[in-house]
Structure 1
Amino acid sequence: MSTDTATSAAPPPSRSESVAEPPARFRDLVAAEWIKVWSLRSTPWTLLVSTLFVVGTATLEAIDDYRAFPNMNPAMQREPMFALSDAFPLMGYWTLALVAVSAGAIVVVGEYGSGLIRTTTVAVPARESVVLAKAVVVTALWTVTGTIAASGAFTVSQAILSGRDAAISITEPVALRALVAAALLPTVCALIGLGLGVLIRHGATTMVTGIFTLLMLPQFFSIRTRWSAEINHAMVLTAWERLTAMWAPPSGDGFYRPGVAESWVVYAAWPLVAIALALIVVRRRDV
């Protein structure tokens, strides 16, 4: 048989052999994750109710102080320390933190629970890219939500307090710092939830772990002793409380309190560590 005959008898290459499937671009992964998040019917309601709850609690706090203002001592009236605590109320932001950590976890544990994660990893073998795409979507979603909630709460509360000449301007450095810290709190918590979701992969366990870490763990560490206070200072909500405070209490009162720079480091460290651990685990563990 001649060479020409052998060549003509060979079957033509299949389409899958001749055309390699291009790898998914990162922006396509982000777009896919964005669609997944908004395909959950709970997403818009969660964001809307969370925002309204924060603004609502800030409104109620400001109304209470507006009514109580005539009975306050003159020193407090001249320097209203409640201006920022009304704008960023503890109850409202603790609730927002718990909602955000749970929502961040659902982004990933929902796929593990439904088995969709297997389809995702078959379509995109680069699991680290999938986790990073989820992190980008979570960051964008909760930063926008946090900014709207913080801006709305600050605007409404200060408008109410201005009737007593007790409002603080956003041009004040401490007010701007507090606004940024409040806007970023849900983002930090949602990324922690995402990281925990990759590590634990079970919905209820992940949420309980996130709530315990954010809300309960700081209560075990007093700020009366140095070593215990240092652990307390490393907690997210402790950092948030410091960053949204109008001023630090005077030293020498028997308590060890965090600094502003230290609190910003805590804000950055928690989500970075959570996502870094998630990337390490997802690379080494089977689906």
Structure 2
Amino acid sequence: MSAVALEQQQFTPVERRVTFGGLLRSEWIKFWSVRSIVVTMAVAFVAIVGLGVLLAWATASSFADPETAQQMAAQGFDPVSASLQGAQMASLIVAAVGVIVIAGEFSTGMIRTSFAAAPGRLGVYAAKAVVLAVSVAVVMGVGVLLAFLLGQAVLEREGVGASLGDENVVRALLGHVAMLTGFALSGLAVGALLRNSAGAICTVLAAIFVVPLLLMAVPESWGGETIREYYFTNTTINALGVTDQSAYLEPAAGLALFAVWIAVLLGLGALVLKKRDV
């Protein structure tokens, strides 16, 4: 074999296809190697467990007063919600994580490398969504369960705790996990739409926290009740507790509509990623 032939054999490039499995591995490594994401996920976990136990303890202290206990019982006390108040704060945090996952790469320019490796772009976006959803569901799911168990142990001192076998308790726990996962994915979608971390985080936080408050001021003559019932963050309300509120959708219908909201947001994000230049 001649020297030229030997050199060609040694340096012939090998074409390798980018598979979705490879994209998943890449996004998994990126997700858990970014310090800000790891720290933010840890803060969300602490918020669920720490605030849940703290507020459960405060609630249990209130039951020590017979008059207060009677008022809370008359209002329909929900022990599950009492131990999972920290999930409301955590929902804002995981939404910010979703934004950082994609908008952070736009700010650093790393997204160009990702899209150069997978020119179709949507594979990268889908891999980010899967890794984000799985990570949030698992980590926050553990946090929700731990907050429930510890919170109910505190409430049980006053005889008002609940157990996993009670009616609708498991549904409420799964509802919280679904809510947290959905908010994280909504952050990813808005991050893809705006491509700016600060702007996307402010937008998501406003949609989750501010808009529902503003909708309370919409008069019934303008369809305020219907708007509030079908608005993004309100669709999961009955899935988060053991008792249903008649003003909002039933748990199954609410979660289904919540999934539609998330799918639409993710679809808009995919459309923008496909059409706009990096």
Asked which structure has the greater CA Rg, the reply is 1
Deviations 1:56-114 (A, max 9, x none): 1111222122222132455855996131221221xx22321111111101111111111
Between the aligned partners of 1:185 and 1:61, the Cα distance in structure 2 is: 20
Q: State whether residues 159 and 167 of structure 1, in contact with CA within 8 Å, keep that contact through their aligned partners in structure 2.
A: yes
> 1:82-231, aligned counterparts within 5 Å?
82-89=78-85, 92-222=86-216, 225=220, 227-231=223-227
Which residue does 1:245 correspond to in 2? 241
Which residue does 1:3 correspond to in 2? none
Give the 4+ runs in structure 1 shifted more than 6 A: 11-18
Corresponding residue to 1:258 among 249, 263, 266: 249
CA distance change for structure 1 residues 74 and 44 in 2, over 3 Å: closer, same or farther? same
TM-score by length of 1: 0.85
Following superposition, the deviation at residue 21 of structure 1 comes to: 1.6
Between the aligned partners of 1:15 and 1:273, the Cα distance in structure 2 is: 50
Q: Which sections of structure 2, spanning at least 5 residues, go unmatched?
A: none
Deviations 1:173-227 (A, max 9, x none): 3111110011222211111111111111111111111111111112222386272
Following superposition, the deviation at residue 233 of structure 1 comes to: 2.2
Please state whether the residue corresponding to 1:173 is helix, strand or coil.
coil
Q: State whether residues 30 and 137 of structure 1, in contact with CA within 8 Å, keep that contact through their aligned partners in structure 2.
A: yes
Between the aligned partners of 1:245 and 1:224, the Cα distance in structure 2 is: 27
Following superposition, the deviation at residue 148 of structure 1 comes to: 1.2
Please state whether the residue corresponding to 1:245 is helix, strand or coil.
coil
Following superposition, the deviation at residue 15 of structure 1 comes to: 7.2
Aligned residues: 272
CA distance change for structure 1 residues 75 and 108 in 2, over 3 Å: closer, same or farther? closer
Q: State whether residues 161 and 167 of structure 1, in contact with CA within 8 Å, keep that contact through their aligned partners in structure 2.
A: yes
CA RMSD of aligned residues (A): 2.7
TM-score by length of 2: 0.87
Please state whether the residue corresponding to 1:129 is helix, strand or coil.
helix
